[in-house]
Structure 1
Amino acid sequence: MIEKTSSPIYEVSARIDKWQEGKYGPYGFAKVLSADPPVTEAIYFASVAKARPALGESFDCSISVVKGRWRVIALASEREPVEQALSGVVRSCCGSDMKRSWRIELDTAKDGINFATLTTQVLREAKVAHLDNGQPLSFMALLSPTGDWSVTKVLTPLAAEAITDHAGNLAFLALALTSWTPDTNRKSLTFAVNSPPSKVWPLVYVPTALLVKQSLRTIRQADAIDASAITSAKATLLHAAQVLQCGSAQELTDLSVDCLQLALTWDAAGARWNCRRLLGPLRLRDPNPGEVIDWVSACVTELETPAKAKVEEAADVAELCGDDEADGPQLKTNQASIKVRMDINDPRVGRGNISGYFSTSIVDAAGLAEGVTVVVRISSSTPPYWNAKRLHRSTPRREDL
């Protein structure tokens, strides 16, 4: 029973001693027992009630003026719950996966209750995956049937505040929150990002396309509350990189990881962290600044002619033969350039696809085409990736074979 009223509503304790029969069915006069009541009694119509209080026993209810008379408009059990703004500190967590919950000790007891419960569903709405013990937070909550306060919305900490330095390619460790193989047909996976000294683990979605591109075939679930997941992460990533870069076919098939290294970017519109770049493990490692590696075998996979001609160094012509004089000052000449993509497999850098621009004269003279084997010099570029800079030799296909 919840009657609408425009008059002030009072929360009181009351008691009904007997029922009477009226035009609209049984009714009773509820005697108000609370101190300093606005009225001594209010009428209670049983016909609109979901339940009847026991005669002679006190009960909590709401009273107000309806059509000029004081009435009981709602029993305490029928009142709509009201959210409360509370604050506290995380003391423990239990459960796993989506059934995990965090127990929060309130800064100040509310209605005689000292604890609140935070569920995974509510925490993820705040774009956060995990909270370490000792993390303060503020939140909205409702009283739950279990006797605790139940968190309905996290107010602070904000996911944006969990990471203060994310410039460049700073690598953050991310633990997998779910298992995955390519046949599961998922577009993204959830990861919990560890960013000490913060006790807040932001939630990040990693596109599975990035994993497939690196030949990662199995992701296994990790647990943020398991300390060994952090301590073993470095060794896991190092082993995975070694397998991806120079492991056998069977080792690639057996490879399974539960963590990644990510570069992140803040999405203000979505109020969440996004994966900007996968930093580890990689099939082809990132170069160090200024790094150059010579005599790298490669296989041409594609020739792409840019829409606009690119001005190339005349030295490129000498590079075809490896002429040392090519290292000296050269005049620039207007020659169209072609972007050549190639696969490399070298234990010094790993396996993957790189590209470089070569003048049309070099491409023609070297007989570059899809499937042609070449030997090149590669060097670092910005942002960090490998770029083919000099062509030492090629093994073009013979037309008469």
Structure 2
Amino acid sequence: MNRIAGLLVLTLALMLPQAAAARVDVNVSISIPPQVAFAAPPQMIVIPETYVYAVPDMDVDIYFYEGWWWRTWEDRWYRSRSYDSGWVYYESEPVFYRDVPREWRRWYHERRWRDYRWDHRPIPYQEVRRNWRDWEENRYWERETTWYVDGLQRSESVHVDVIVAAPPPVTFRQPPQLVVIPETYVYAVPSIDIDIYFFDGWWWRSWENRWYRSRSYSSGWVHYQHVPVFYRDIPREWRRFYKERRWRDYSWEYRPLPYREVERNWQSWERNKYWEKQKKWNIRAKPPKSSRQHYDVVAPAGPQHRQVISPPAQKVYRQSGPPVQKIYRQTGPPAHKGGKPPQAAKPPKGKPDKGHAKGNGKGNEKGNKGNNGKGNKNK
């Protein structure tokens, strides 16, 4: 009896760690930061030498960059489309934060930037939301005000001899159609053999280890100094998933989206969570029969993700003659064609045996008996 009791105790001791581990996997969740109460819409400042905007009069760090509000809480990063609510956990440190000095609050109170006088001025948040794209595209802060810092050099003196080559233009036979990348609000052009994305009102592409963006899908590309934040959420296998019409282990029944429809609706789709609420990104919940291996890593880290702080200044690109018009090879799954299925190969000439002549059913049985028994007789 004592032996049986000892075995029961040993079994329970072995099962308890597994049960505890299972509870950890089920119950672990990432908490949402508490809401920040604002008596009025916040006033902001631009962080010198960046296009990052901060709320200086709060005891928490809240930033605005590239159309998103960002904040930290308990050593985690969160972002939102609103400055006071809707925070969503972000898995890594955003790229812009590397350019923000940790002493910026002290410099703000001392009204200096490094060793220069900083006559910062408050900017209403509505003005930032309305103008941040134009300010960044036109390099407003370094060209017009030098961020209100006395002593900083203007951008013209920095970029006199350094020219970053623009990527070759992309010639489309017709306006492109896009697909939405599942689990994101990033749109891609799958029918050409280079990666062109649409996100947050901009078209994006990479060329020679640099990133570029434009307001047009085919021209006007301007060098962008960082890897865009959306790129880390895109699996590197998305083109293979597209061709196989699956997303990880699920059937992906995507539909093409005209680019004008995307440009017109991307803001409302993202604000209303259109893809996950209604369409589920056109992904069927039931895995297909021919599902492949499961992919757990969304955006694996690697050399291709390292940040490009500044382009090399050794080369000066000068182009003579008209720009090269490059037409990229069309790729993607073969177009589905309707119609009748292909007909079977015609039998060889000659008189068929009785079984095949009568088709399915008893005629086939007789034909098989003839083959197994007396055989065919050729006249």
TM-score interval, smaller chain: under 0.3
If asked which structure has higher relative contact order (CA below 8 Å, sep 6+), I would say 2
Question: Normalised by the size of structure 1, how large is the TM-score?
Answer: 0.19
Q: Which protein has the larger Cα radius of gyration, Structure 1 or Structure 2?
A: 1
Higher fraction of strand: 1
Higher fraction of helix: 2
